Amino acid sequence: MTDVWINGTAMVQTGRHYNLNMDEMAARVLDEALKDAGYPELDALFVASATAEQADRQQMLGTYIAARLGLDKVATYRVENADGSGGSALMAAAMAVRSGVYGCVAVVGVDKPNDVLSNQQQDIYSTATDSVYERYFGVTPVAQAALMAKMYLSKYEYKYEDLALWPVLMHKYGASNPYAYIRKQAKIEDVLDSELVSDPLRLYDVGPMADGAAAAILCGRKGVAKVLGMWSSANAVPFNARQDYDVLYSAREAAERAYRMAGITPRDVATAEVHDSYSILGVLAAEALGLAPRGGLLASLRGGSEVRANLSGGLKSRGNVMGATGVYQAVEVVWQLVGRGPFKRVDGSIGVIHSMGGVDATSTVVVLGL
Amino acid sequence: MRAGIVSWGAYIPKYRIRTEDIAATWGDDPARIVDLYLVYEKSVEGYDEDAVTIATEAARRALRRGAVDPKRIGAVYSGTESKPYAVKPISSILIDALGLANNVFAVDMEFACKAASDGIVAIAGLVESGRIEYGLAVGTDTSQGEPGEHLDYSASSGGVAYVIGRDGVAAEFETIYTYNSDTPDFWRREGSPYPMHGEGFTGEPAYFRHVVGAAKGLMERHGYKVSDFAYAVFHQPNGRFPMRAASMLGFPPDKVKPGIVVTHIGNTYNASALMGLARVLEQAKPGDKILLVTFGSGAGSNAFVLNVTDAVLERQKADVPKVDEMIADKIYIDYAMYLKNRKMVKLFE
Amino acid sequence: MEHESVPLYWRNIPSYYRLAARRCRKCGEVYYPPVVKCPRCGSSELEDFQLPHEGELVEFTVLRSVPTDYMKQKPLVIGLVKLGPVKVLGQIVDAAPEKLKAGQRMEVVFRRVVVDGKYGLVMYGYKFRPRP
């Protein structure tokens, strides 16, 4: 089997891109990534998007992105796992190269949730929950995350002020990331005073919906960073039926298997981008990746340690670019490994991305190394 | 063997609005309104409740109280004048909501407030003819009055369901009588949100003529005296009409008061007299005779003589909410919340 | 005119109206939502199982950022309620959130869930409220 290397990367600043269609936005960032890779011949395009159909009424987004660049005859695949589409598309792309079928493929993540109103954003996001048994009754991902937050804080005897340390840290990192949507620092008072979204989660616990597009070129020939391990795992137990609510089962499994494939342990991880669609999920993801003991992350934040996760500012600062998130994470981890601006080179050669769909419905973990 | 009530269940939504809060909005003198109607507060459905949900809760309670196997119900008749649909049955929804068999007569009935008791009559017939074993008659309403108009002080929400059969009867139908005529005292045209009514015309020519006509007709034809009855329960559009009807028939107030529920929950329309009956059944003793007279505008009344049996004691002990408990279980809302709950605020569609 | 799928609602009536779960005839495990094969023992022999209409509150949250259908009903109280052998996610109604406590007894009620505009179907289903 062929090794898989990331040869080119590109991303745009996230936020509100009212003036760009999805396919155009994606095409532009794809072109940038191709340029970064030296314009290799592209065999296939893997498109990650959570909102293409529901917000912009577009199926087969890949074919239309290809049309904007004249990439005739390229194979196009649409990968959807809600806000975990990015990681899934990345892994699909990597598997395609690893199999030897394709020489170079692109993975492009694009979503424009700001094309619709905030209540419509919740409508779309709630289609990531069980449509018949959850969405129908008004359950949304933030409600599920809030239930987990309540139970986690109670179980480990934390106060909300402890959870608030996560968004404060995310804002600190995001403040130095010009690609992020929200770049202002946050004091703990800002978090505590912010309006309730679904208690105990407040505005600062929620990654704001943001438009974005990012792309990575994966080839069989040597590039900037190598895919050392990857795994995707679904948590097939419905939210209501889960045993424990202080663990992300899908993230834990995906991380374990991806680390095993890469031959690493959590100690080897120099940088990680995890899926903090909500602060509590970021905390749980970091623990699932072994960056802190179960139930222990907030205690270590409280004690003054900084977790080496989400140097981009995570979904908190980057915003929730939905399906594009996983691709952003890949670009950011590569830049953190090599020291490409705005990121300083991290101390180590291994980076991990954790991309998740819904509230622990499915996770993809990809291990990248120099 | 005659058919009778095997079990009953009632449901009153938790929310209440006081007469004085409605009066304050529309410039009425609350003291005068209370004096006119003797309605102090009325029940209001929650935003997510309607005649169907109320019917379901009442029916579930009726089945539970009598420990009746839903699969043995052979008919479900719903009487309402506030269906969410002009065309679509709610009896069919009850089949699935209660887990009834499909081989069940399912009928929606309309005769203003009398419809539910028409269902009782029909089911009694089906039971006595041997065509069904048990039947479920449900009265449910979330009727509205025009805002600012007097009817809105009493128009309220509630539901009552009766399981009728021949086995396990707690109150037997000894006699049934009816009195109907074309008397347009109150109606609602297709597409109209609120009913029209004839104010004073709803009294003598309508309510009293038919209620008293039915009661008198029943008593004369079958030789009953007032003293035969322990209780008299009447349809209750307000707190005054039933007391006056009672006095016209010679019933002393203390035989009527136990069946009066309107003063603190308002007029639940199809559930009105039936709710009064449920309250009476929750305190009646074996051997008691009850006179029940319903009324529906348009107009007509059904009159029933019920004989309470020993089985009522078992039903009274069942772990199912009682009418008085429901009347007391309340949350007050203001007029703005009232309009919101009743979906009377104009929104984008 | 866009409207909600009627077959989608109709076929889920046993769940929505009666909380009909499935139980594995072989190992006895109960599943809600219903499964096709028992995840525990792999058996395909599943039978209908009626969940009790009473239970206890596991946890709840007051959701303020609501989907379109619920904009006029916010905030929604979303709760996880244990009904017999399973937990069920749903709305809690007729209760002030300040008075709710994990562990308290709850009962199932039958309510409107979604109304499909002015002309479409009224869709019903279960919700929870504190048991008096």
Sheet holding C30-31, edge to edge: C30-31, C20-24, C46-50
Interface size between B and C, measured as CB pairs under 8 A: 52
Q: What token pair was written down for A20?
A: 């760009």
Coil, strand, or helix at residue A125? helix
| Cβ–Cβ below 8 Å for C17 and B85 | no
CB contact set of B88 (below 8 Å; sequence gap of 6+): none
B39 contacts B238 by C-beta, under 8 angstroms: yes
Q: Cβ–Cβ of A147/C80 closer than 8 Å?
A: yes
Task: Summarize pLDDT for C32-53 with one digit per residue, the tens.
Answer: 999 999 999 999 999 999 999 9
Structural domain contains residue C1: no
H helix intervals, C11-114: 13-18
Question: What is the reported pLDDT for B261?
Answer: 98
H helices present in A243-322, as ranges: 249-262, 279-288, 297-302, 314-317
Q: Quick check: C58 contacting B, CB < 8 Å?
A: no
Our answer on whether A and C touch (3+ beta-carbon pairs < 8 Å) is: yes
- The answer to whether C14 faces chain B, any CB pair under 8 Å, is yes
CA atoms within 13 A on the CB side of B202: 16
Neighbours of chain C (3+ CB pairs under 8 A): A, B
Residue whose entry in the numeric block shows the structure tokens 């600190």: A172
pLDDT in tens, chain A (370 residues): 889 999 999 999 999 999 999 999 999 999 999 999 999 999 999 999 999 999 999 999 999 999 999 999 999 999 999 999 999 999 999 999 999 999 999 999 999 999 999 999 999 999 999 999 999 999 999 999 999 999 999 999 999 999 999 999 999 999 999 999 999 999 999 999 999 999 999 999 999 999 999 999 999 999 999 999 999 999 999 999 999 999 999 999 999 999 999 999 999 999 999 999 999 999 999 999 999 999 999 999 999 998 989 999 999 999 999 999 999 999 999 999 999 999 999 999 999 999 999 999 999 999 999 9
Rg (CA), chain C: 16
Residue C120 in domain:
yes
Q: Which residues of A touch C (CB under 8 A)?
A: 118-120, 122-123, 126, 130, 132-140, 142-144, 146-147, 150-151, 195-201, 206, 236-241, 245
Detail the DSSP E strand segments found in chain A: 5-11, 44-48, 75-79, 104-111, 196-198, 201-202, 212-219, 225-234, 271-273, 350-357, 362-369
Identify the chains in contact with A, defined as 3+ C-beta pairs within 8 A.
C
| Among candidate residues A166, A172, A178, A351, the one with its CA nearest the CA of residue A277 | A166
- Residues C56-60 have a mean pLDDT of 98
* Calpha distance B88→B192 (Å, rounded): 18
Q: What is the pTM of this model?
A: 0.94
Q: Is the ipTM of this structure higher than 0.90?
A: yes
Tell me whether residues C112 and B50 touch, CB distance under 8 A.
yes
B185 contacts: CB under 8 Å, gap ≥ 6: B197, B198, B201, B202, B205, B206, B207, B297, B298, B299
At how many degrees (to 10) do helices B19-26 and B30-37 cross? 130
Rounded CA Rg of chain B: 19
Residue C130 corresponds to which amino acid?
P
The answer to the question of residue C82 being in a domain is yes
- Residue bearing tokens 């009632």: B10
Q: Which residues pair with B178 in a beta bridge?
A: B302
Closest CA to B188 of B85, B305, B67, B297: B297
One-letter-per-residue 3-state SS of chain B: CCCEEEEEEEECCCEEEEHHHHHHHHCCCHHHHHHHHCCCEEEECCCCCCHHHHHHHHHHHHHHHCCCCHHHEEEEEEECCCCCCCCCCCHHHHHHHHCCCCCCEEEEECECECHHHHHHHHHHHHHHCCCCCEEEEEEEEECCCCCCCHHHHCECEEEEEEEEECCCCCEEEEEEEEEEEEECCEECCCCCCCCEECHHHHHHHHHHHHHHHHHHHHHHHHCCCHHHCCEEEECCCCCCHHHHHHHHHCCCHHHHHHHCCHHHHCECHHHHHHHHHHHHHCCCCCCCEEEEECCECEEEEEEEEEEECCHHHHHHHCCCCCHHHHHHCCEECCHHHHHHHCCCCCCCC
Over 80: is that where the pLDDT of C1 sits?
no
CA B60 – CA B29 distance, rounded (Å): 40
- C65 and A142 within 8 Å at the Cβ level: the answer is yes
Put simply, the answer to whether B340 touches C72 (Cβ < 8 Å) is yes
**Residue pair A294/A287 in contact by the 8 Å Cβ criterion:** yes
Best CA proximity match to B45, nearest among B13, B78, B93: B13
Q: Residues C76-130: pLDDT tens digits?
A: 999 999 999 999 999 999 999 999 999 999 999 999 999 999 999 999 999 999 9
Q: How far is B118 from chain C (nearest CA, A)?
A: 25
B321 contact C CB<8A: yes
The verdict on B328 touching C (C-beta cutoff 8 Å) is no
Give the angle B107-B108-B111 at the CA atoms, nearest 5°: 125
Question: Residues C88, A239: contact at Cβ < 8 Å?
Answer: no
Q: What residues of B are annotated to the active site?
A: 81, 113, 235
- Going by C-alpha positions, the residue among A313, A24, A349, A73 that lies closest to residue A174 is A313
Quick check: is C25 in a domain? no
Q: Which residue of C has its CA nearest to B14?
A: C94
Nearest 5°: phi and psi at A111? -150, 145
Q: Tell me the Cα Rg of chain A.
A: 19
Q: For each of the domains in chain A, give its residue range(s) and CATH number, in order of start.
A: 1-370 (3.40.47.10)
Residues A146 and A215: their CA atoms lie apart, in Å, by 32
**Cis omega before residue C75 (within 30°)?**
yes
Q: Which two tokens stand for residue B172?
A: 């037997």
Alpha carbon distance B116, B94 (integer Å): 14
Minimal-distance CA residue of chain B relative to C53: B60
Does C79 map to a domain? yes
Task: Tell me which residue of A349, A85, A63, A144 sits closest to A226, measured CA to CA.
Answer: A349
Phi, psi of B109 (to 5 degrees): -120, 150
Give the domains, in start order, of chain B with CATH numbers.
4-170+312-340 (3.40.47.10), 171-310 (3.40.47.10)
- The C-alpha atoms of residue B282 and residue B276 are separated, in whole angstroms, by 10
Note down pLDDT in tens along chain B; length 349 residues. 899 999 999 999 999 999 999 999 999 999 999 999 999 999 999 999 999 999 999 999 999 999 999 999 999 999 999 999 999 999 999 999 999 999 999 999 999 999 999 999 999 999 999 999 999 999 999 998 999 999 999 999 999 999 999 999 999 999 999 999 999 999 999 989 899 988 888 899 999 999 999 999 999 999 999 999 999 999 999 999 999 999 999 999 999 999 999 999 999 999 999 999 999 999 999 999 999 999 999 999 999 999 999 999 999 999 999 999 999 999 999 999 999 999 999 887 6
| pLDDT value at residue C132 | 82
Residue with tokens 């039947």: B135
The whole-angstrom separation of Cα B209 and Cα B224 is 19
Distance, first Cα to last Cα, chain B: 54
Which backbone phi and psi does B216 adopt, to 5 degrees? -65, -45
Total tally of structural domains belonging to chain C: 1
| Domain assignment present for C31 | no
Nearest-by-Cβ selection for B56 from C13, C110, C127: C110
Q: Is residue C21 part of a domain?
A: no
Distance CA A174, CA A182 (A): 7
Query: What distance in Å separates the CA atoms of residue A303 and residue B11, rounded to the nearest whole number?
Result: 55
Element (H, E) at C54: strand C54-63
Provide the domain limits for residue C60.
Answer: 6-12+52-130
CB contact (8 A) between residue B96 and residue C18: yes
- Please indicate, yes or no, if residue C37 is contained in any of the structural domains: no
Interface with chain C: mutation pick from B48, B96, B330, highest number of C CBs within 10 Å: B48
Kindly list the strands in the beta sheet with B331-332, ordered across the sheet, starting from the edge strand earlier in the chain: B41-44, B15-18, B331-332
Q: For residue A136, how far is the Cα from the chain centroid?
A: 26
Q: Count of alpha carbons within 13 Å of B326, Cβ hemisphere only?
A: 26
Q: Which residues of A touch C15 (CB under 8 A)?
A: 132-133
Pairing relationship of beta strands B157-165 and B105-109 according to DSSP bridges: unpaired
